[in-house]
Structure 1
């Protein structure tokens, strides 16, 4: 809601500065989002009248004007505006004037100069040059009654301030200048100027037949005929200025009058061209397939859930939202029908959004507009029509007021003790009564209980908490005491064998990953492709069509981040996310932290793309691969050790994906992006991804003391030839089963050898040679004992045990 301060002060003028007034409104719940001047600073610009305008002797598009600025002598000013002519009054910048800054940010200083050899003693200004609007089609023409020589800031009231309020939906009664003035009067005690609505004399008995067929759509319908109006009249400048300062451009006098009353009193109305109405009007619900061309040029198709106003032949307007083009007023209109109605908020709410537009009228009606003043507001509109568009032949008919079904106000009780408890400060009954009476609410008192019957313009008052809010607003949120909560607190210490999610974030940041935060609702295609989830959890009311389901994997969000960065020429991307996923699980019951039928675990996932290290001189650039990210996963899980075995995941390459197991339990996957999805996401290289259960990542071992070994360990290297299908895990399991833990300090794979090529006929090698389909794995065993040094016999026995187990469990052989 935007409006000029001067208009507000016409209804209520408290002894407060602009900033104090803004602070008062904000602390009462009417947040002032912005304060800005109507015009930027400029000086020495006055009202000037062109007394003479002749063609420049050396320029076709320039005129030499003689301008009266109230100084006695006329000023000689050269002007190129197409509308520079004798008799008009325009803003004139005198020599020494400072105009608003241009695009370069520097103020423009007016000096005596020459244009094509003719001296110019000032400058005639357009609205754009004064930063009043973007109109630069010519000079800003002022009213003929403008006093010559008066400062233009004073004449146009350019020292006014524009207030922009961010109103919550329950404050519909503040969607007008008068409604805000009513609040200001209640907050400050300043007198409120009540609008008066004298009846316009009626000299006509004509009434337009109107039938309200849908009482659940329209509760009251008022209208009047006005004949012989002059729609070619000009809208007064004062009205255009106020509309512009409310963010509304001028259209035509009748439309401007309707809009003006809407901003002034909060009453949307509509003016029909009477001669374009066929027969009478029927206020009803739409019928499937009916079409209507609106004033904005769109043609919409209505149904039974959209209210309309129709005549005997067609639909004429969307009820409470926008009028139709067929009955729109124009320059040829002579007779009009003024309509003001009460539309039920639930009958209007959401209808305009079905057609992908919104209007000021719909915005107000869906929140609630006072049904009790339709006749009075028609009188106000009629008087403005007569004042602006009236002719000697203009006549008005009586107001046809049909009251069909109005909302009944239900009394609401306020317990003073309850209000004090909710607000958090001591309150007396007198304080509460005073606050509510200042708001103009009818009050009756009993012992500790105040009963309020909401007035017709207060749709938001229905329960006790609504009245408590009103009391708090009148007290002022800035006056509420700061009371820290008091509660017994028992510290809950985390188990020593766990770490915090923050520690995981720090660890990943230390591994050169950057954290991202993404929406939990994603594109349905991601779920089908990346999660292999044919039945994702769908949202009933998604915020966007591409965010229609809840995610069951974090990988789609991370790939979207990767794609976003690659589109902006990023060469190396490493990102991660800690977030919740959403899975169907019938075993989950309703609790304080769970929802029946849905499992919502936390996961940590990451994506690495590009080089495995930043560009440097000491090593050649090498692309990221599976083992780089596998190492990052191992570092994140340390000091616990996970095992990795071949696996499959819908998002990952079937031959470059591993299952991550901790104590035999699957906790996630790591692997390269599937080539199919790499192609569909248009990625130049394949990124490597991981996704793990966060609960498993948070586990860690408690540090335990262990003495430094007093006896030197020994190392033995073994090379064993195994089939390609044998994994590293198989080899390590065989080694660990062969030697007691007290003897084996470590076993590390340090070399893998595969033959480059095999000639025909030599596929089966003899002895220790490596044949096709085989590989050689070299393992270094570190053996030692705390009590004493190992003997050669013990070392040899341990090595032979390892060889025996490797042969037995993997089918391999020693390489010689």
Structure 2
């Protein structure tokens, strides 16, 4: 809603020193967010004066008609002589009163006026159009003013209101009353404690008889309808400049007097109106639901198929308007319309909202109807409109008019006087609630601490005690609610929270960047992962109302979202990327039923909560990593290296290390990884070996499907399972005795995983083993084809003594013996 300050001041006795920006700040704090304050004409400077055209000489020999004019501007030019101006407009004549910008003036947009020679004549100034002055959009010619509008040579800036501050208010759906000057003025008057001149307080006389025949077929669609007629209207009567100016400032395009009057009253009072050419109506005007297959050509020249949910206003020949949205073309006010019928109604808001969206027609009228309008403003608005048609268009107002009223009695709300303070946590002084509720138009009756409140007809959003509390709090000032720190007895972070934070820090410290991706995927993503038809990751939950029709499934793996993020970064020039994400995946429960729809008027029962829990999917928390490009950049410090499958496995090791869990790694085959460069990851829980994820280089077909860089590596592990494998952490004993190191080189078949050899060495070495480290893998002629040599460094240490060579050797031999038994290893000489 755009609110010109001069128009607002006609209804509110604001102090003269209150600026538009100060008012904007106060309104925003009170819940009416002012997005901008437009300072119209702020870049405009004079001299801009009234002038009278004395002579017009038509210049010929040019591609377009040109006129050389002599204009009387009085003494404004310093000489008193007529001003000579070249002009191309054709819509004015000698003797017309016009607006002249003299040399030295600057028009909106930084357009400076000077004297220059053009078309063979000296032109000193400009005869201005409405667009050039910023009055309204009109490219048909210059502004011709009515006689007596201004004195010759007088300043035109103030008289034409070329400078104006306009508040642009973002009206929320619950505050439909603020889509009118009347509604905003009431809030402003309450905020500043000044008098309000209500524009709705006009004299409305009872009808002398029935007006145009009308009926409401279904009172559930509309409960009030008013039809007021005006005859003898001059369809060629111009809209006055002040009205056109205000409409333009409010964001409404001037059209014609009849249409402009209805728009002006709508902006003023908040009641949308429609003006009909009564001579083109056929019989009784009926408010009803649209019939199946009914069609209507609306004012935008589109023929629309109506829905049975649409409210229409019809005559004997059929629908003539989509009620509250847009009128029909057949009954449009035209250049020959002299009998005008003004319609004002109160429609059911939800029908209007659905019709507006269904037909993709968001009009100024529909915006107001769907938010809720004053249910008792129809007679006032229609009367105001026909009186303006009489005043400005020479019409005669008919004393007889139609008023159908099926409205119900206003509802009351019972609330305690201290309820607003209890909601805000502030002890408001006694009488505060009554003061503000009366200021916004409520009728308040008190009985002790209990108030019986009747909201005004223009506030349909006030329906319960909390609505009333909000009104009190916003006028008292949200900014005056003190900030109170939480004083609860916090227990700190859970073990799971600590683990997740530690994992995030560990991955960030090793060069990975955290991302958060949408948990939605599509069948195309699962195909890109090369998942088989029976892969459990294809069993996913489908959203009933997805954000994107191509991604209707909840993810069962983190990888697709991370792949897309990697591609987006690479596409923007970041070739060396290491990403990680921690988040839930969603695994449907076998045989789970749909969750019940819960009522909103009570808390769910224990049975309903159990049904909801049973319908929810399992949501284990996973950690994923994706790597591409250089793991270490080249420079003077070294050649650098590319990220490979081993880096993805190392990321999994880092996650396990932070959790204090030993990770077992084996070669494996699992989509979407490369069959020969994929590792399965395991932990042990109560002696049971548990799979927690996979890591390695991605399959080339997956790389191609997602558009990833070649040799991209990835890792995904189940963090919940890793957390289950955690045991009580025992601080290590630090021995002061020296370490004994024994190196072991074993030759095994090339297919034997190194991890299996390592596990056997650890188990065989016993309690004296402090650590084991792989330091060499060799394949070649010396060990034979299909064989490999793996070398480990075993460190032995006792906590109470220095180990002898015999003890260290015995432990080494025991480790080798068990490795030989389990893997077929041979000690290399």
TM category (shorter chain) comes to: 0.7 to 0.9
The answer for the alignment partner of 2:19 in structure 1 is 17
In 2, the alpha carbon distance for the partners of 1:544 and 1:146 equals 60
In 1, the alpha carbon distance for the partners of 2:563 and 2:390 equals 65
The answer for the alignment partner of 1:482 in structure 2 is 482
Q: Which is worse superposed, 523-532 or 511-520?
A: 523-532
In 2, the alpha carbon distance for the partners of 1:506 and 1:414 equals 52
* CA displacement 1:158-181 (0-9 Å, x = unmatched): 332111222332222222001111
* CA displacement 1:353-403 (0-9 Å, x = unmatched): 233342222222222112222122111122223334446xx6647322222
Offset, 1:732: 1.9
TM-score (norm. length: structure 2): 0.84
In 1, the alpha carbon distance for the partners of 2:236 and 2:714 equals 70
In 2, the alpha carbon distance for the partners of 1:533 and 1:357 equals 44
Aligned pair 1:687/2:712, yes or no?
Answer: yes
Q: Which is worse superposed, 514-523 or 302-311?
A: 514-523
The answer for the alignment partner of 1:714 in structure 2 is 741
CA 335–574 in structure 1, closer or farther in 2 if over 3 Å, else same: farther
8 Å contact from structure 1 (residues 202, 398) kept in 2: yes
CA 129–360 in structure 1, closer or farther in 2 if over 3 Å, else same: closer
* CA displacement 1:570-618 (0-9 Å, x = unmatched): 43333333334444348999989x9553244444333323333446465
The answer for the alignment partner of 1:105 in structure 2 is none
The answer for the alignment partner of 1:74 in structure 2 is 82
Aligned pair 1:733/2:733, yes or no?
Answer: no
Q: What SS does the corresponding residue of 1:490 show, helix, strand or coil? A: coil
Alignment of 1:320-399 (within 5 A): 320-390=324-394, 396=398, 398-399=400-401
Offset, 1:447: 0.8
CA 312–126 in structure 1, closer or farther in 2 if over 3 Å, else same: closer
* CA displacement 1:731-775 (0-9 Å, x = unmatched): 2222222211423521315325379xxxxxxxxxxx9412xxx35
8 Å contact from structure 1 (residues 226, 397) kept in 2: no
Q: What SS does the corresponding residue of 1:658 show, helix, strand or coil? A: strand
CA 692–359 in structure 1, closer or farther in 2 if over 3 Å, else same: farther
The answer for the alignment partner of 2:424 in structure 1 is 423
8 Å contact from structure 1 (residues 292, 324) kept in 2: yes
Q: What SS does the corresponding residue of 2:26 show, helix, strand or coil? A: helix
8 Å contact from structure 2 (residues 652, 717) kept in 1: no
Alignment of 1:461-610 (within 5 A): 461-478=462-479, 480-482=480-482, 484-485=484-485, 487=487, 489-494=488-493, 499=498, 501-520=500-519, 526=525, 534=538, 536-542=540-546, 545=549, 548-585=552-589, 595-598=613-616, 599-610=618-629
CA 751–81 in structure 1, closer or farther in 2 if over 3 Å, else same: farther
Q: What SS does the corresponding residue of 1:255 show, helix, strand or coil? A: helix
In 1, the alpha carbon distance for the partners of 2:711 and 2:72 equals 76
8 Å contact from structure 2 (residues 4, 249) kept in 1: yes
Q: What SS does the corresponding residue of 2:103 show, helix, strand or coil? A: strand
8 Å contact from structure 1 (residues 721, 815) kept in 2: no
In 1, the alpha carbon distance for the partners of 2:12 and 2:566 equals 56
CA 528–744 in structure 1, closer or farther in 2 if over 3 Å, else same: same
Which of 637, 643, 651 is equivalent to 2:664? 643
The answer for the alignment partner of 2:2 in structure 1 is 2
CA 671–73 in structure 1, closer or farther in 2 if over 3 Å, else same: farther
Q: What SS does the corresponding residue of 1:467 show, helix, strand or coil? A: helix
Gaps in structure 2 of 5+ consecutive residues? 596-605
In 1, the alpha carbon distance for the partners of 2:640 and 2:473 equals 65
In 2, the alpha carbon distance for the partners of 1:503 and 1:38 equals 57
Q: Which is worse superposed, 309-318 or 109-118?
A: 109-118
Q: Which is worse superposed, 432-441 or 693-702?
A: 693-702
In 1, the alpha carbon distance for the partners of 2:528 and 2:287 equals 51
Offset, 1:20: 3.2
Aligned pair 1:258/2:262, yes or no?
Answer: yes
The answer for the alignment partner of 2:601 in structure 1 is none
Q: What SS does the corresponding residue of 1:445 show, helix, strand or coil? A: strand
8 Å contact from structure 1 (residues 172, 367) kept in 2: yes
In 1, the alpha carbon distance for the partners of 2:750 and 2:628 equals 32
CA 386–212 in structure 1, closer or farther in 2 if over 3 Å, else same: same
Aligned pair 1:218/2:225, yes or no?
Answer: no
Offset, 1:516: 2.9
In 1, the alpha carbon distance for the partners of 2:788 and 2:108 equals 81
8 Å contact from structure 2 (residues 2, 169) kept in 1: yes
The answer for the alignment partner of 1:400 in structure 2 is 402
The answer for the alignment partner of 2:44 in structure 1 is 42
* CA displacement 1:514-559 (0-9 Å, x = unmatched): 3333445565754786696556444455555556554444333333
The answer for the alignment partner of 1:763 in structure 2 is none
Gaps in structure 1 of 5+ consecutive residues? 103-107, 756-766
Offset, 1:415: 0.7
* CA displacement 1:489-524 (0-9 Å, x = unmatched): 324244789736444444333333333334455657
TM-score (norm. length: structure 1): 0.85
The answer for the alignment partner of 1:658 in structure 2 is 679
Offset, 1:412: 0.8
Offset, 1:10: 0.9
In 2, the alpha carbon distance for the partners of 1:98 and 1:525 equals 60
* CA displacement 1:44-101 (0-9 Å, x = unmatched): 1413434334356886555443333332222233445676865555543333334455
8 Å contact from structure 2 (residues 442, 455) kept in 1: yes
The answer for the alignment partner of 2:288 in structure 1 is 284
Aligned pair 1:627/2:664, yes or no?
Answer: no
8 Å contact from structure 1 (residues 625, 688) kept in 2: yes
Alignment of 1:49-88 (within 5 A): 49=51, 50-54=53-57, 60=63, 63-71=67-75, 72-79=80-87, 86-88=94-96
8 Å contact from structure 1 (residues 416, 427) kept in 2: no
Offset, 1:131: 5.7
CA 626–768 in structure 1, closer or farther in 2 if over 3 Å, else same: closer
- Kindly tell me the number of residue pairs found equivalent between the two proteins: 789
Q: Which is worse superposed, 257-266 or 517-526?
A: 517-526
In 1, the alpha carbon distance for the partners of 2:568 and 2:154 equals 57
CA 43–497 in structure 1, closer or farther in 2 if over 3 Å, else same: closer
The answer for the alignment partner of 1:810 in structure 2 is 823
In 2, the alpha carbon distance for the partners of 1:408 and 1:648 equals 74
Which of 196, 202, 208 is equivalent to 1:192? 196
Offset, 1:34: 1.8
The answer for the alignment partner of 1:761 in structure 2 is none
Q: What SS does the corresponding residue of 2:376 show, helix, strand or coil? A: helix
8 Å contact from structure 1 (residues 47, 146) kept in 2: no
In 2, the alpha carbon distance for the partners of 1:95 and 1:609 equals 66
8 Å contact from structure 1 (residues 273, 329) kept in 2: yes
Q: What SS does the corresponding residue of 2:46 show, helix, strand or coil? A: strand
CA 519–408 in structure 1, closer or farther in 2 if over 3 Å, else same: farther
CA 686–370 in structure 1, closer or farther in 2 if over 3 Å, else same: farther
8 Å contact from structure 1 (residues 524, 536) kept in 2: no
Q: Which is worse superposed, 90-99 or 540-549?
A: 540-549
In 2, the alpha carbon distance for the partners of 1:294 and 1:359 equals 12
8 Å contact from structure 2 (residues 740, 808) kept in 1: no
* CA displacement 1:118-141 (0-9 Å, x = unmatched): 444334455555566676675455
8 Å contact from structure 1 (residues 212, 283) kept in 2: yes
Offset, 1:193: 1.4
The answer for the alignment partner of 1:764 in structure 2 is none
CA 268–647 in structure 1, closer or farther in 2 if over 3 Å, else same: farther
